[in-house]
Structure 1
Amino acid sequence: MRKWVVILTSVFIVILLGVAGYAAYIYQSVKTTAHQIYEKRDATVQPKPVSMEGKSTPSTSAAGAGVTEQPSSAQATAQPINLEEKKPFTVLVLGVDEREHDRGRSDVMIFMTVNPAKQSILMFNIPRDTRTEIIGHGTVDKINHAYAFGGVNMSVKTVEHFLDYPVNYYIKVNMEGFAHLIDSMGGVEVNNPFAFYYEGHQFEKGDLQLDGEEALLYSRMRYDDPRGDMGRNTRQRQILKQVIKNSLKITNVVKIESLLAEVGDSVKTDITFDDMKTFLTDYRTDLKQIDQVEISGQGERINGIWYYLVSDKERSRIHNLIKEHLQ
């Protein structure tokens, strides 16, 4: 009898050691991938002029075009966030279409404020055609061109200037990689306000279950939308909102490893591995609501180029919404 007790005990210990070893392996794998996608922001913007058709004029000629001529107080670098105290923070999500030998442009720019005390996230698109000063480049141009001129650093500084509010973290996502992430989560559910056909896919009106490729197409259509770029922005937020909701439900470390493996080659962020762990353990259960707003403006051609003009009054309104949500 004692022999069987010894054998069973030994087997049990081996199983425990195996499970512990596998858990350690998974943890190390997640940590390694998190380090791979980590890319620290450079506080000093290095201008990288790019020859682009339709490049606009220097900021000294921007008066009357919905652009502030001088940099605002937002140029101050964002202060470190004490996540262990569940402090609120801001995130800039950049969706880019990178091409071979071409950095591409940030066709998606979504700003989020995260406040666990209010149990909510506030998010809004910055329309890609928004006319503003490109910080570090000396021009006034479409805000999504900041990425083409100077990558993440110039995009962040330009957004900070435009909103007069610091960016605590950024997440840069290659859109094709974003589709793989959605597939790993089992797709996303959206409510489509009207039927449309786009690039070989029919999207019916009503509730839809989309895989990664379909979600990408759904978020890209613009010309058949009665609201144009604003309608596309709404669909982009729909997709991101569902991805966030699905992410907040994840508790299995094996699933986290799978997701990070999917996005490893497509994502860069200045969120550290330790911060990721804090989000998962301390913030996840506190975020129950995602609110959305829009930046109002009007389209106008200036020197033959189409821009989205946002008034100083509207910029102040958005700034105050950010400030209020983070308090």
Structure 2
Amino acid sequence: MKNKTLKIILWTLAFVLLLGIGTAAGYAAYVTDQVRQTATESHEELDRGEKSEKRVEVVNPADDHTSVLFVGIDDSQKRSNDANGNRNALSDALVLATFNDDNKTVKMLSIPRDSYTYIPEVGYKDKITHAHAFGGIDSTVETVERMLDVPVDYYVRLNFNSFTEIVDSMGGIQYDVPFDISEKNSRDMHGAIELDEGYQTLNGEEALALARTRKYDSDLARGQRQMELIQEIVRQSMTTSTINNIGDILQSIEDNLSTNLAFDQMIAFKEYFFQKEGLSFDKMQLDGEGTYINNVWYFDVESDSLDETKDQLRTHLGLDSLQDDDDEINSFAEDDDENDSM
């Protein structure tokens, strides 16, 4: 099954629904109780504990700049690397979101699944998607932290296969399809999804096909399309009709979600969602190109793009930029040179 990248949509759904639905004023108390129960049953701490090694202390989403790693996986037996389906799944989607508490802005970075980077769990460079197969969510978080030189405070992991269930539980989503498409469905049936260009209601299978297709435009355009789909899902998840389907939605999430966010931490993000203009975010991508190393295809991230991305994320999290650190080191070196010459 060639499910390459769903990219940004999968895990964001769980996060948006858990953070938003139960926190809006005026909704019935039982909705919040349902969300609380789902959050409790989906809670799973990292082996490292609450705090990233790149933090001095634990951050609180209510008061601090915070980062959340969204991880989309497909842990079906067919996608597993052993005959019994026992090995950890690959991560089909990785997105790091940073939340700035001062101005309530959000940045979202899509990390290409084939990015060639060092994986601490095994001690060598490989595709970043393999980090989850090697050591689960703990290995994935550690690898992303090392690659981007920023703390990953929290994670949200959602099973790839739940995407269609969640969209269907919402009653579908309204979206302006940019072109006619003919695509496989989630069971790899060719031509099962036929869509005409234009504004329409998409069910789960149709939304998934539109998010995954790579035949009709560039990877860059596809990334933009996926971001737009997320924004529509976020907006439409806050409607009354979605709330009426809360039971089905939460059941889809509960069966397929794990996160180290506690319920109180989740609802601390509500101010990002209920601003006057609604949730919006700065979309970020890493530049690079495909390359073969030892006859294996990888995405080789450009060093300048990676450095610039690191600095943007660190600045958004209120951390010192790497450039500032380099300048400080260089100034110390210059001082030492001056002392040596005296």
The TM-score normalised by the length of structure 1 is 0.74
Which residue of 281, 284, 287 corresponds with 1:290?
A: 281
Q: Encode CA deviations 1:169-225: one digit per residue, 9 max, x unaligned.
A: 111111221222222223233444433311121233343432212112222223x14
For the residues of structure 1 that align with 2:300 and 2:56, how far apart are their CA atoms?
26
Q: Which runs of 5+ in 1 are unaligned?
A: 1-22, 45-73
Letter in 1 for 2:212: R
Distance 1:292 1:191, change over 3 A: farther
1:233 counterpart (210, 216, 223): 223
Amino-acid identity (%): 31
Q: 2:142 aligns with which of 157, 169, 172?
A: 157
1:297-308 correspondence runs (5 A):
297-308=288-299
Distance 1:196 1:92 in 2: 31
Query: CA 1:160–1:249 in structure 2 vs 1: closer, same or farther (change >3 Å)?
Result: farther
1:37 aligned onto 2:26 = no
Q: Which residue does 1:110 correspond to in 2?
A: 95
Alignment correspondent of 2:54: 76
Equivalent residues in 2 for 1:166-245 (5 A)? Answer: 166-199=151-184, 200-222=192-214, 224-228=215-219, 230-245=220-235
RMSD: 2.7
1:141 has 2:99 as partner? no
Q: Give the letter aligned to residue 274 of structure 2.
A: T
Match of 1:50 in 2: none
Deviation at 1:98, TM superposition (A): 0.9
Q: Which segment drifts farther, 233-242 or 129-138?
A: 233-242
Q: How many residues align?
A: 272
Unaligned runs of 5+ in 2: 1-27, 78-84, 185-191, 319-342
| Aligned-residue offset at 1:266 | 0.8
Change beyond 3 A, Cα 1:29–1:139: same
Q: 1:119·1:289 contact (CA, 8 Å) conserved in 2?
A: no
Report if the CA contact (8 A) 1:43-1:77 is conserved.
Answer: no
In the alignment, the residues of structure 2 paired with residue 27 and residue 268 of structure 1 have an alpha-carbon distance, to the nearest angstrom, of 18
Structure 1 equivalent of residue 308 of structure 2: 317
Amino acid aligned to 1:95:
G
SS in 2 for 1:83: coil
- In the alignment, the residues of structure 2 paired with residue 324 and residue 248 of structure 1 have an alpha-carbon distance, to the nearest angstrom, of 30
Give the TM-score normalised by the residue count of structure 2. Answer: 0.71
Give deviations 1:233-288, integer Å, cap 9, x for gaps. Answer: 334333333333334557997765553222111111111111123234x4432354
Structure 1 residue matching 2:143: 3-state secondary structure? helix
Between the aligned partners of 1:244 and 1:314, the Cα distance in structure 2 is 28
Larger Rg: 1
Q: 1:206 to 1:88 in 2, by over 3 A?
A: farther
